[in-house]
Amino acid sequence: MKSIYPLIIAAVAATSASAETPLYLNPDAPIEDRVEDALSRMTLEEKVALCHAQSKFSSAGVPRLGIPELWMSDGPHGVRPEINWNDWGHARWTNDSCTAFPALTALAATWNPALSAAYGKNVGEEARYREKDVLLGPGVNIYRTPLNGRNFEYMGEDPWLASVMVVPYVQELQKNGVAACVKHFALNNQERWRGNINVDVSDRALYEIYLPAFKAAVQQGGAWTVMGAYNKVWNQHCCHNQRLLEDILRGEWGFDGAVITDWGGAHDTREAALNGLDIEMGSFTNGLTSESEFTYDDYYLARPFLELIRKGEVPESTADDKARRILRLIFRTAMNTRKPFGSLHSPEHYAAAKAIGDESIVLLKNSGILPLDPAAGKRILVVGDNATRVLTNGGGSSELKVKDYISPLDGITAVFGADNVDYARGYAAGPPMYDRDEPVPASVQDSLRAEAVALAAGADVVIYVGGLNKNAFQDCEGQDRTGYGLPFGQDELIEALVKANPNIVIANISGNAYAMPWADRVPAILHSSYLGTMGGASIADVLAGRVNPSGKLPYSIPVRLEDCAAHSFGVDSYPGVESESGDVLFGVCAPQQRYEEDLLVGYRWHDTKKVPARYAFGHGLSYTAFAYGKPVLSAKEMTAEGDKLTVTVPVTNTGSREGAEVVQLYIGDDKASVLRPVKELKGFEKVTLAPGETRDVTFTVTPEMLAFFDAGAHAWRTEPGTFTLYLGGSSAFTPAKAKFKLK
């Protein structure tokens, strides 16, 4: 074997034994100085090596300089179990069970930014303890269709709610020395054909609906990384999209962090080199849809990138720019010497998960049957697969391996007493590998239904815990739902249970809206998203009245799918149409899609088209009641230059127990030269009131809140005229109104 001994001797001799620490290793030096110093010491090969995966969830550092590699992990709701070095399998470690926090749709449903801060802090401590430098979340794609398989990972249909709720999560997460990775930038609003669908949307809808939450996460949250989406916009993949990454993200928003692809989101070396991508993860360069033995050096931003630079086809400065941003990320995370040590599945994390879950549950309807008094000793029959199914498994990359899991049945049994609680599965949900929502033979469903209905007749109260789950074609990454209705014959089961016992509470779990044909025939409906480790305890405490529900819907629940904006314009609007020719990915040819509803997403559509939702955006009841008094304005008019006015509304708890109300402010431009929604959310505040207490809630109205995006001028603009302020407890319940004039 050729001896390398002489080489080592020569290298060691050449290394100055000087005692002083190189600048880039000095933790007290400004990060930008450290970046430049480190960069100046790196070879071209070392710069390029930073720009792509070295394993499924890590990218290289610079071993020669002692610059550590970057370790990334899913997901938005907790730290994913360790994945193998070079395939998607679980590494089957025994030290990586975690806290499963509620889904981000649940966080959005709390309308409580303080809980978003708690969320970021606690999930960040888990990521830090698991020695992850980048947590691949939060996701803030707007909820455009209830069929999107990943809505449960995002923060609802409204840009103002998502913008306010994402910022504290990012800020507190990053205080752990763990980078947020805001995803999926941008216009990844469905899973169908996500790999290469080209989304066409107006600039107004882009700037007014789809970008704001990303902008807030970057500018107010200070996000250190952003994940490019799989899809295309303007016929260019988001992961190396000149307009999205260079013009908007960096040019307009001043983003100084790193752009990371979604896993397999890179498709072109030249575009990746020139259009602002920094780290390429997970792609299959040979177009295979399965793992192959090719090395990570074949990635677009690996050897092919190096060769383009060597041939002079792209400037070396592209490698310097990427390396600079990646080094900055490394100094903020892996080489951050001030970061805390973190902790894993601690009592504090469980308490945070419980608090978020408690405030996320939305009481849609209550005839008075709720709360159920545990002391009454009523005989309760719990029915439904979701009462026992571990819903943290599956769903795609947001899957979690929990150390503990309190199921709804566990929670209900603990609160109401095992002697008073019986269980019947009612329906079978089938194993995840099935690819349709009727994976179970009808005979099995019939017998499960018959058993539940028979038991229901003998109970005092039936609590039905069904809904959706994380199986394919439900609340799951990679595909969309195939229909708006509940799967596994649940509607038929619910109708049969109602006939057998009208004292029934629907306490379903889902990350999406779904059809509720039985809504008028049941006395109460509780709507929960996936609440993770403490979910069953939260649901049981709300059912028993130990927690007074205060959640509000972060998305509309249409009566029928056709009432939803995205499904009112034919297939080019959803799911899009395949093209005759063009790039083929996973067997689909260049699908095209046009968001025909433009900016009328969610309640904007329901209000403007006068198509009422079954339950409106912002709706949520309490075990107490709230009344709104007359709003008072600080002025009757304001100018567009730096002026502002305040609106104050008195809110009273008219019930007999303490409760929290989310006071919502919507603003409508009474007459505009362009199409504008009837009203748009421009403020909210969650207030806790004692019985009989009245609190004045004040909002400040600024000209920016009145503006619309003028695509022609590429600028935000306001038009003089009258505006209406709508205040209340839901987008469909705004009893307090006031007008003012913008001069």
598 is catalytic: no
DSSP string covering 431-449, please?
-TT--SS--S-HHHHHHHH
Nearest approach, Cβ of 91 to ligand GLC (angstroms)?
14
CA-to-CA distance for 428 and 485, rounded, in angstroms? 16
Contacts of 234 (CB under 8 A, 6+ apart): 198, 241, 243
Of the residues 96, 133, 158, 262, which is catalytic? 262
Residues 135-160 as b/e (b if ≥16 CB within 10 A, e otherwise) read bbbbbbbbbbbbbbbbbbbbbbbbbb
Nearest approach, Cβ of 139 to ligand GLC (angstroms)?
7
Q: Are 118 and 348 in contact (CB under 8 A)?
A: no
Select 53 or 370, whichever has its Cβ closest to ligand GLC: 53
Binding mask of the shown chain, residues 101 to 140, with x at each position contacting ligand GLC by CB under 6 A: -----------------------------------x----
CA-to-CA distance for 99 and 121, rounded, in angstroms? 13
Nearest approach, Cβ of 162 to ligand GLC (angstroms)?
16
Position among 185, 214, 263, 518 found at the interface with ligand GLC (CB under 6 A): 263
Binding mask of the shown chain, residues 559 to 598, with x at each position contacting ligand GLC by CB under 6 A: ----------------------------------------
Q: What are phi and psi of 133, to 5 degrees?
A: -95, -25
Look up residue 510 and give its two tokens. 């889902």
Contacts of 732 (CB under 8 A, 6+ apart): 603, 606, 612, 613, 616, 617, 618, 619
Q: Are 668 and 724 in contact (CB under 8 A)?
A: yes
Full 3-state SS string of 343-373: CCCCHHHHHHHHHHHHHHCEEEEECCCCCCC
User: Considering only residues 227-246, where is the footprint of ligand GLC by CB under 6 A?
Assistant: none
Nearest approach, Cβ of 397 to ligand GLC (angstroms)?
3
Q: What are phi and psi of 584, to 5 degrees?
A: -110, 130
Select 104 or 364, whichever has its Cβ closest to ligand GLC: 104
Select 111 or 530, whichever has its Cβ closest to ligand GLC: 530
Select 282 or 535, whichever has its Cβ closest to ligand GLC: 282
Select 134 or 453, whichever has its Cβ closest to ligand GLC: 134
Look up residue 135 and give its two tokens. 């947590």
Token pair 């990646």 is at which residue?
326
Select 188 or 538, whichever has its Cβ closest to ligand GLC: 188
Nearest approach, Cβ of 237 to ligand GLC (angstroms)?
14
Select 210 or 617, whichever has its Cβ closest to ligand GLC: 210
Q: Are 52 and 312 in contact (CB under 8 A)?
A: no
Select 341 or 586, whichever has its Cβ closest to ligand GLC: 586
Q: Running DSSP on this structure, what letter comes out for residue 84?
A: P
CA-to-CA distance for 669 and 320, rounded, in angstroms? 48
Nearest approach, Cβ of 477 to ligand GLC (angstroms)?
6
Binding mask of the shown chain, residues 57 to 76, with x at each position contacting ligand GLC by CB under 6 A: -----------------x--
Select 71 or 263, whichever has its Cβ closest to ligand GLC: 263
Select 182 or 201, whichever has its Cβ closest to ligand GLC: 182
Contacts of 395 (CB under 8 A, 6+ apart): 152, 470, 475, 476, 477, 530
Q: Are 225 and 260 in contact (CB under 8 A)?
A: yes
Rounded to the nearest 5 percent, the helix, strand and coil shares of the chain are: 30, 20, 50
Q: Are 422 and 380 in contact (CB under 8 A)?
A: yes
Give, in degrees to the nearest 5, the angle at Cα 556 between 497 and 570.
100
Q: Are 369 and 376 in contact (CB under 8 A)?
A: no
Select 264 or 558, whichever has its Cβ closest to ligand GLC: 264
CA-to-CA distance for 64 and 43, rounded, in angstroms? 11
Total binding residues toward ligand GLC, as defined by CB under 6 A: 6
183 interacts with ligand GLC by CB under 6 A = yes
Give, in degrees to the nearest 5, the angle at Cα 277 between 273 and 278.
100
Nearest approach, Cβ of 260 to ligand GLC (angstroms)?
9
Nearest approach, Cβ of 71 to ligand GLC (angstroms)?
13
Measure CA of the first residue to CA of the last residue in the chain; give whole Å.
85
Bridge partners of residue 589, in order along the sequence: 584
Task: Report the C-alpha dihedral over residues 386, 422, 548, 345, rounded to 10 degrees.
Answer: -60
CA-to-CA distance for 647 and 704, rounded, in angstroms? 16
CA-to-CA distance for 389 and 110, rounded, in angstroms? 24
Select 398 or 471, whichever has its Cβ closest to ligand GLC: 398
CA-to-CA distance for 329 and 338, rounded, in angstroms? 14
Residue among 607, 625, 628, 608 at smallest CA distance from 616: 607
Give, in degrees to the nearest 5, the angle at Cα 587 between 586 and 588.
95
Active site members: 262
Chain residues that interact with ligand GLC, rule: CB under 6 A: 74, 136, 183, 262-263, 397
